Amino acid sequence: MPRDGMRRPLVVQDSFLRQIDPRTKIALAVATSAAAGLPLPSLALVAACFVGLLVVADVARPAAAQLWRGRLWFAVLFLLDWVFVSLAFAALITLRLALLTSSCILIFATTTPDELRLAGERLGLPPRLAFAFATAFGSLGLMEREWRGILEAQQARGIESAPARTHWWELRGADLTRVAALVMPAIVLATQHAWAISEAAAARGFESPERRAYRVLRLRPVDHALLAATALLLGTSFLLR
Amino acid sequence: MGRTYFSTFELLLLAVFAALVVVGNVALRLPVKLPGHSGVVWMALLVIVRGMVPKLGAASCVGVFSGLLAAFVGVGDKGGLDTLLSYTAAGAGVDLISGLLPSGALTCAVAGLVGNLAKLGVKVLLELWIGIPTGFLVVGRTYPALTHTVFGLAGGYLGALVLAALRRAGFFAYLAARR
Amino acid sequence: MTPLLEASQAAFHYPGREHAVGPFSLSVHGGELHHIRGPSGCGKSTFARMLAGLIPHLYHGTFSGAVQVDGQRTVDTPLWQLSGRVGLVGQNPAAQLLAATVRDEVLFGLENLGVSRAEMQTRLDATLDAFGLRSMADRDPHTLSGGEQQRLVLASIAARRPQVIILDEAFSMLDTRAAADIADHLQRLRREGTALLAFEHRLPQNGWREDARPHVLARAPLAEVSLPEWRRVAPWRLRVRNLAVTLGRRRVLEDIDLTLAGGRVVALLGANGAGKTTLLRALAGLQPFDGDIHDDSGGRHLGLCFQNPDQQIFNPTVRQEILFGNGGIDADLYGSALELSGLAPYEYTPPLLLSEGEKKRLALAILLTRPGLRGLCLDEPTLGQDDQHRRRIGRVVRHLAAAGYLCLVATHDVEWAAEWCDEFIRLHNGRIAAHRNATALRQPEDEERCHATV
């Protein structure tokens, strides 16, 4: 299971990015991802600024953890590029991959799903879709608990959660039946849950054309400053490439 | 208020299924260490939800939602962007084939195949974009492409079997009563 | 005076079903309390949904007759408008939670009203204070207790100031204290002019039963059938010593010492969170524990009947569901299990189409066919059941006990426990607070009865 289970995002509460509008962070992540296509000198400049932002925003640790998980892939790629092309090329590709891998940490480590939902609405996403996303996230913990309940209930009937066989060629039709015994209750429970949410939402006036959001996101001077700085850096990098 | 493409129930069903996809990807892994093996359960769930909500875009919605969820909880080794795009592509692949071909077990299997390959395809495209030599990709991704094909087919077919079982178990009568 | 809510021969025909549900008629004015009861499957939830407008807006089918809210027909009025005047509180609090925090849960309904932000703030503050939710405003609703969750759901609906609140078995999953708390808040709303419609098998005790206008949705009662002969098991005892269970960082059970004998029906009582379900799971071998559980018949012969049968169902028919994994079961045992659970008429029915009560009986039938079974653990078997089905469950456990089975029943239903159980164990904060003969529950003023679920 991912760390922290599936109930809460791994949000760094102390980061100054918590005060930044989620739309600004989305723009920063998009810009960082786009910069991954730059040549080495410009790329290094952008990467240095990005790392600086991560450090100042106190999200360097989750970014490092994210990169660490892909370390084998980074190592193999670097070696192959160095051996078959050149060291400079290896550095370029690895740096691009590192930037691409860590670009979205700005969003996911400093934004709650609810804040992302608000940003989506502000960007024009229909409230129904935004609510659906929030429901998806809110259902993670429930689905995990239901899943454990299903495993336990079926184990009580003698249906094991994992086959004794460990090689793919040993898998049998009985294993498909086992999977069906676990998947079908999960589907039924997921559907019942979705229906219960639909009724509860309808009972509280969901889809009212008169709906007015309580919270409204507004870009503040710090957001404008960050966006301007990003545009300047990216623009300069692309011009100088 | 005018009719919407997805009813609220359908939209919420897709959302809850997205959570199920993320949970299933972590919890229901087959004990095989081959690339793409998660596609058996993953594609099965996508095919199933596409069968339950037989509208173009249903599996894509599940893909987008589940991609965001997976990125939030830290699933995947190559960052949030790769996770989001992979999950989205898987859903879009299933949607595309389900929309083009007539319904049936074969279509489900092919949808699973295309969805699982689409997931791999996104990774290849990202790797091409950052400049990894094509030769490396051909050598490094041929074997995963084969395993993704096999597991995608298996997952799609499993989805078809489960849909048939749900139909026999009266589940679609439950759905039919609800808007 | 125009009724706030009026139903005239309202009926609904679900697609594919043989008969329509209804017709029903009812007239509701401000401040009234109506108690609508009837046997399971008679259409209470359908009627509740018709009155709330969910039928026909959210359900396919044929609606006949009329339901009017403030003189406007529900079929002609958008649901979002109806929900501003009629609120609905369902049975399962957790299934009605829509937001990430308690505050946002209350705001969800207020945002849909279209009032100004200042008005939203005023109502939010008033609601949080009136329902005692201020201190938990930033908490995730899923971390609240069942009673707190139901209080939150009620608050979210009450913030919209509906004229009528419908309760669809809203008390059935709550312990006595939580139910009394919700009842108090509802009485306050009623004094402010809100009408209440309670679709419940039983009402809470604090003044509700005297005030309510009763309505019965009648259906021909089931004939009480004789139960089939059940194979006897040899006498046996279950000894539990120093049992303790820790979940995460919380010590859920501690110092549990028990000796239980086959042939007895034992009620497990206590408030939500006291550890009843955990104890049942530990005894059934599904929960790791510290301490010792010794079954002198050798091995483990207690099975747990899961509270949510949907976690197990996946076969096309009831017959296949019972027989799954029990290839060696003999026809007599299968037939007896089918009869005992009252599912013989549904042998070839898809399990997903059974009612909730029938699914619970299916879970029981699945358990009864398990080889070597000598005892059952039942978790809230009477939840949401009408008097007839509660009685049947009581007869079944007594019948099994007569055959030598040990039947452990976790329940909030003290009345049922008093009638059908031999002894009871009361848990409080994970420890045994009392273990006595069930006659102590049958005295109305007895302290044990008053505290049985606290």
Residues in B 139-178 with any Cβ partner in A closer than 8 A: 158, 161-162, 165-166, 169, 171, 174-175, 178
Average pLDDT value for residue range C129-145: 93
More confident residue, B132 or C208: B132
pLDDT (0 to 100) of residue B125: 93
CA–CA distances in Å: residue A148 to residues A166, A185, C141:
22, 12, 21
Query: Does residue B33 carry a pLDDT above 80?
Result: no
Spell out which residues of chain C touch residue B178, defining contact as CB-CB under 8 Å.
58-60
- What's the CA gap between B139 and C277, in Å, rounded? 55
Average pLDDT in chain C: 89
Q: Which of C39-43, C141-145, C311-315 has the lowest mean pLDDT?
A: C39-43
Top residue of B7, B52, B166 to mutate, by most chain C CBs within 10 Å, is B166
CA–CA distances in Å: residue A174 to residues A163, A171, A178, C278, C325:
9, 8, 6, 32, 11
pLDDT (0 to 100) of residue C444: 56
Query: Does residue C436 carry a pLDDT above 80?
Result: yes
Q: Concatenated DSSP letters for C365-405? A: HHHHTSTT--EEEEESTTTT--HHHHHHHHHHHHHHHHTT-
In this predicted model, what pLDDT tens digit does every residue of C383-411 receive, in sequence order?
A: 878 888 889 999 999 999 999 999 999 99
Helix (H) or strand (E) holding A61: helix A60-69
- What's the CA gap between C300 and C372, in Å, rounded? 9
Average pLDDT value for residue range C133-149: 93
Top residue of B73, B88, B137 to mutate, by most chain A CBs within 10 Å, is B73
pLDDT (0 to 100) of residue A3: 36
More confident residue, B29 or C8: C8
Is residue C376 within 8 A of residue C206, CB to CB? The reply is no
pLDDT (0 to 100) of residue C208: 78
CATH number assigned to the domain covering C5-216: 3.40.50.300
Spell out which residues of chain A touch residue C110, defining contact as CB-CB under 8 Å.
214
Query: Does residue A168 carry a pLDDT above 70?
Result: no
**C83 closest CB neighbour out of A138, A180, A203:** A203
Q: Which of A93-97, A112-116, B16-20 has the lowest mean pLDDT?
A: A112-116
Average pLDDT value for residue range B97-115: 94
pLDDT (0 to 100) of residue C441: 84
Whether A202 and C83 lie within 8 Å, measured CB to CB: yes
What count of residues does chain A have? 241
Spell out which residues of chain A touch residue B175, defining contact as CB-CB under 8 Å.
191
- What's the CA gap between C280 and C255, in Å, rounded? 15
Q: Is the dihedral of CA C334, C340, C345, C349 positive or negative?
A: negative
In this predicted model, what pLDDT tens digit does every residue of C340-360 receive, in sequence order?
A: 888 988 999 888 888 888 888
- What's the CA gap between A6 and B69, in Å, rounded? 9
Q: Which CATH architecture has domain C237-451?
A: 3-Layer(aba) Sandwich (3.40)
Pairing of strands C375-379, C302-305: parallel
Share of chain B above pLDDT 70, in %: 96
Query: Does residue A228 carry a pLDDT above 70?
Result: yes
pLDDT (0 to 100) of residue A114: 87
Spell out which residues of chain B touch residue A163, defining contact as CB-CB under 8 Å.
31
pLDDT (0 to 100) of residue C162: 96
Whether B176 and C15 lie within 8 Å, measured CB to CB: yes
In this predicted model, what pLDDT tens digit does every residue of B52-94 receive, in sequence order?
A: 999 999 999 999 999 999 988 888 778 889 999 999 999 999 9
In this predicted model, what pLDDT tens digit does every residue of C37-96 receive, in sequence order?
A: 888 778 889 999 999 999 999 998 999 999 999 999 999 999 999 999 999 999 999 999
Q: Hey, where are the domains in chain A? A: 16-111+218-240, 125-202
Q: Hey, where are the domains in chain B? A: 8-28+35-176
In this predicted model, what pLDDT tens digit does every residue of C243-267 receive, in sequence order?
A: 999 988 889 999 999 999 999 999 9
Closest CA to A203 of C168, C23, C42: C168
Is residue B103 within 8 A of residue B148, CB to CB? The reply is no
Q: Which of A4-18, A226-240, B99-113 has the lowest mean pLDDT?
A: A4-18
Average pLDDT in chain A: 86
What one-character DSSP code corresponds to residue A128? H
Whether C16 and B1 lie within 8 Å, measured CB to CB: no
Query: Does residue C104 carry a pLDDT above 90?
Result: yes
pLDDT (0 to 100) of residue C327: 60
Is residue C411 within 8 A of residue C270, CB to CB? The reply is no
CA distance A19 to chain C (A): 18
CA distance A221 to chain B (A): 27
Whether C352 and B177 lie within 8 Å, measured CB to CB: no
Equal fold, C5-216 vs C237-451: yes
**ipTM of the complex, rounded to two decimals:** 0.89
Spell out which residues of chain C touch residue A132, defining contact as CB-CB under 8 Å.
none
pLDDT band at residue A152 under the 50/70/90 scheme: confident
pLDDT (0 to 100) of residue A5: 43
- Could you give the dihedral angle defined by the CA atoms of residues C157, C162, C163 and C169, in that order, rounded to the nearest 10 degrees? -20
Is residue C15 within 8 A of residue C61, CB to CB? The reply is yes
First to last CA, chain C: 44
Share of chain C above pLDDT 70, in %: 94
Is residue C297 within 8 A of residue C236, CB to CB? The reply is yes
Whether B177 and C60 lie within 8 Å, measured CB to CB: yes
pLDDT (0 to 100) of residue C386: 82
pLDDT (0 to 100) of residue C43: 86
